[in-house]
């Protein structure tokens, strides 16, 4: 595997279900991100992990819970979601250092549908 991978690619869940999204980066980066992409809206940054530490939570509802066990893996745990949470969830990674250019590399996304 190369780049950033995400599983599952598609997920349909009921409002009472619990599910998890998984992201893995094979680029040796030290920062990882979760984004939400909805139609006709800019990408919304949800969570940021720098060196495995969460550094940002952009007022995301508690029904979304991130986990970063190491610098290569990132999870998004989902619980009692709402239909308006249906979207494409994208994971990204980047390398933070003194020469950082802030370029981020994205996975293919998980298309989530909440019924």
Partner 1 sequence: QKEVEQDPGPLSVPEGAIVSLNCTYSNSAFQYFMWYRQYSRKGPELLMYTYSSGNKEDGRFTAQVDKSSKYISLFIRDSQPSDSATYLCAMSRGNNRLAFGKGNQVVVIP
User: Are 65 and 79 in contact, with CB atoms under 8 Å apart?
Assistant: yes
- Pick the binder of partner 1 from 2, 41, 62, 69 (CB under 8 A): 41
- For residue 92, give both structure tokens: 């990204």
Q: How far is the CB of 96 from partner 1 (least distance, A)?
A: 6
- Pick the binder of partner 1 from 45, 52, 63, 86 (CB under 8 A): 45
Place of tokens 């549908």: 113
DSSP-assigned letters across all residues of 46-61: EEEEETTEEEEE-S--
Asked if 93 is part of the footprint of partner 1 (rule: CB under 8 A), the reply reads no
Q: How far is the CB of 73 from partner 1 (least distance, A)?
A: 17
Place of tokens 């279900």: 17
In 3D space, the residue among 101, 106, 115, 100 whose CA is nearest the CA of residue 36 turns out to be 106
Asked if 13 is part of the footprint of partner 1 (rule: CB under 8 A), the reply reads no
Kindly list the residues in this chain that would bind partner 1 in the complex (CB under 8 A): 4, 6, 31, 40-43, 45, 48, 50, 56, 90, 94, 96, 100-109, 111
């Amino acid at each position: 595997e190369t780049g950033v991978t995400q599983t599952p690619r598609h997920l349909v869940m009921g409002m009472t279900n619990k599910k998890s999204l998984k992201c893995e980066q094979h680029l040796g980066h030290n920062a990882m991100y979760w984004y939400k992409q909805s139609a006709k809206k800019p990408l919304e940054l949800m969570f940021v992990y720098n060196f495995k530490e969460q550094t940002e939570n952009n007022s995301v509802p508690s029904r979304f819970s991130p986990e970063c066990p190491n610098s290569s893996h990132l999870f998004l745990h989902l619980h009692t979601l709402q239909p308006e949470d249906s979207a494409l969830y994208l994971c990204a990674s980047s390398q933070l250092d003194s020469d950082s250019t802030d370029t981020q590399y994205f996975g293919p996304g998980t298309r989530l549908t909440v019924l």
